[in-house]
């Protein structure tokens, strides 16, 4: 090798960024290979001990096309990675000698007037049938009912609005099960077409959801066009978005005028849009960058919540706030609660857990609930409904104070 090239390669090694890994080492693979586990098979459910374990399990079980559709994200997947990495930039400030003995009792939450056992929910995600061809999202309905948490069904779920409604349970904390319905600009026959979005399909879907007993709509505002997703494109797996479309706040007004149900805008990533949503009378807002699947370089919910907190903290009093994207640990939930978020969602982990059916989804919910209580207790939180803001130490680069 020539001296210059040699020097360059040495420099490259010296400056090489640490290789990014999708999931931290929870000891899962070491453990599995010490048993008689064979790669390429679904590990035993009892061996799933962390939310990220389900990602590994799904990667073994699903074929590449299906796993890639769940896992895919936009562009170079920097937002996807940031969603998972951002939490480590935010330290906790644990307070000791606080009586946390009643913390468990503070896990339940009232959101939009309904009662749930924990401040977590199953985010809307399409094509549950990839993980579980027969029962698909029916498993989400069952597990959400058994664990008394909120499920927000996706418009492009594998099961129809009516099939999901028929699966609802009658005996939950709210009496009959409460579900929300995601809605978006619908495309005729799910075919991609330029701007020519067929609104009558959307109105029809909304009517059907209302008739089926949905309690609120979650209106996806962060899919005005098709997104660049190489990982899924490799298998010719397309999105359900138009190439471009006229998604506007005027349309939000029109949607609201067509239903008596609350309409929650999903995909807020700036304080400006949070304020606009409040001005437009949104009953709640949903902070999300769609798990990094739509616009590349859009911020994580932690960064967005902090931007709102710094620039317009009143928003958290004016409306209830939901958030998702990259949430994988109890501490992630606790950090968002500290910033004023009320309900925290997960997308991919539930899709992965569905490889195990209802039991897998239930186990994931139980893991999260346990972690939230353990982590909050360790940090000296006495009431999950009043997690103090100063529990989190936010880095200066998060401090985007805007001038109006």
Ligand X SMILES: Cc1cc2nc3c(=O)[nH]c(=O)nc-3n(C[C@H](O)[C@H](O)[C@H](O)COP(=O)(O)O)c2cc1C
Partner residues linked to 183 by β-bridges: 219
Smaller CB separation from ligand X, 82 or 311: 82
- What is the distance between the alpha carbons of residues 158 and 191, in angstroms, rounded to a whole number? 16
Interface region with ligand X, contact rule CB under 6 A, candidates 207-215, 283-291, 357-365, 374-382: 283-291
Shortest spacing between CB 187 and ligand X, in angstroms: 12
Return the residue of 177, 227, 325, 331 that touches ligand X, per CB under 6 A.
325
Q: Is 70 in the site for ligand X (CB under 6 A)?
A: yes
Q: For the chain, give the number of residues.
A: 404
Q: Please identify which residue in the block is written with the tokens 């959101």.
A: 111
Contact characters 248-267, ligand X, x per CB under 6 A: ------------------x-
Return the residue of 86, 109, 118, 126 that touches ligand X, per CB under 6 A.
126
Smaller CB separation from ligand X, 116 or 219: 219
Q: Do the Cβ atoms of 233 and 73 come closer than 8 Å? A: no
Shortest spacing between CB 9 and ligand X, in angstroms: 36
Q: Is 380 in the site for ligand X (CB under 6 A)?
A: no
Smaller CB separation from ligand X, 326 or 360: 326
Q: Do the Cβ atoms of 268 and 286 come closer than 8 Å? A: yes
Max intra-chain CA distance, the chain: 75
Q: Do the Cβ atoms of 332 and 50 come closer than 8 Å? A: no
Return the residue of 68, 79, 82, 83 that touches ligand X, per CB under 6 A.
83
Smaller CB separation from ligand X, 127 or 168: 127
Interface region with ligand X, contact rule CB under 6 A, candidates 50-58, 200-208, 246-254, 321-329: 321-329
Partner residues linked to 323 by β-bridges: 287, 344
Return the residue of 68, 202, 220, 354 that touches ligand X, per CB under 6 A.
220
- To 5 degrees, how large is the angle CA 297–CA 299–CA 301? 150
Among positive and negative, which fits the CA dihedral 147, 131, 187, 205? Answer: negative
Q: Do the Cβ atoms of 154 and 181 come closer than 8 Å? A: no
Q: Do the Cβ atoms of 177 and 212 come closer than 8 Å? A: no
Q: Is 186 in the site for ligand X (CB under 6 A)?
A: no
Q: Do the Cβ atoms of 290 and 325 come closer than 8 Å? A: yes
In the structure encoding, which two tokens stand for residue 393, read together?
Answer: 């130490």
Interface region with ligand X, contact rule CB under 6 A, candidates 97-105, 252-260, 289-297, 306-314: 289-297
- Footprint of ligand X on residues 26-65 (CB under 6 A)? none
Shortest spacing between CB 116 and ligand X, in angstroms: 18
- What is the distance between the alpha carbons of residues 232 and 80, in angstroms, rounded to a whole number? 14
The 8-class DSSP code of residue 293 comes to T
Q: Is 221 in the site for ligand X (CB under 6 A)?
A: no
Contact characters 340-359, ligand X, x per CB under 6 A: ------xxx--x--------
Using H for helix, E for strand and C for coil, what is the string for 87-124? HHHCEECCCCCCCCCCHHHHCCEEECCEEECCCEEECC
Return the residue of 137, 324, 371, 375 that touches ligand X, per CB under 6 A.
324
Task: Give the total of residues touching ligand X (CB under 6 A).
Answer: 24
- Applying CB under 6 A, the residues found at the interface with ligand X are 69-70, 83, 123-126, 154, 156, 182, 220, 266, 288, 290-291, 293, 324-327, 346-348, 351
């Amino acid at each position: 090798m020539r001296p210059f090239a040699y020097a360059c390669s040495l420099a490259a090694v010296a400056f090489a960024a640490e290789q990014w890994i999708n999931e931290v080492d929870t000891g899962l693979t070491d453990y599995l290979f010490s048993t008689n586990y064979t790669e390429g098979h679904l590990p035993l459910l009892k061996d799933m001990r962390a939310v990220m374990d389900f990602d590994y399990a799904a990667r073994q079980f699903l074929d590449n096309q299906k796993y890639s559709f769940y896992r895919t994200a936009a562009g170079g997947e920097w937002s996807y990675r940031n969603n998972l990495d951002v939490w480590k930039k935010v330290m906790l400030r644990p307070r000791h000698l606080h009586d946390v003995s009643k913390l468990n009792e503070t896990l339940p939450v009232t959101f939009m007037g309904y009662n749930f056992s924990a401040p977590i929910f199953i985010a809307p995600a399409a094509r549950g049938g990839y993980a579980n061809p027969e029962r698909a999202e029916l498993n989400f309905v069952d597990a959400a009912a058994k664990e008394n948490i909120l499920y927000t069904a996706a418009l492009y779920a594998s099961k129809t609005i009516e099939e999901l409604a028929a699966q609802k349970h009658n005996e939950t904390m709210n009496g009959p099960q409460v579900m929300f319905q995601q809605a978006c600009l619908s495309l005729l026959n799910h075919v991609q077409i330029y701007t020519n979005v067929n609104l009558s399909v959307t109105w029809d879907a909304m009517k059907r959801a209302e008739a089926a007993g949905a309690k609120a709509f979650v209106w996806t505002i962060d899919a005005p066009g098709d997104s660049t997703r190489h990982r899924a494109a490799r298998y010719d797996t397309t999105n359900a978005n138009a190439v471009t479309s006229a998604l506007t706040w005027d349309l939000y007004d029109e949607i609201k005028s067509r239903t008596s149900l609350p309409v929650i805008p999903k995909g807020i990533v700036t304080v400006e849009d949070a304020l606009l949503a409040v001005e437009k009378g949104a009953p709640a807002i949903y902070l999300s960058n769609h798990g990094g699947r739509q616009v590349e370089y859009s911020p994580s919910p932690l960064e967005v919540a902090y931007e709102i907190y710094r620039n317009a903290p009143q928003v958290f009093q004016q409306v209830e706030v939901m958030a998702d994207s990259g949430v994988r640990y109890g501490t992630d939930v606790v950090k968002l609660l500290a910033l004023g978020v009320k309900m925290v969602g997960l997308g991919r982990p539930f899709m992965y857990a569905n490889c195990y059916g209802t039991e897998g989804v239930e186990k994931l919910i139980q893991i999260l609930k346990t972690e939230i209580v353990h982590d909050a207790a360790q940090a000296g939180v006495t009431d999950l409904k009043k997690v103090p803001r100063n529990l989190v130490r936010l880095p200066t680069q998060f401090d985007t104070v805007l001038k109006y």
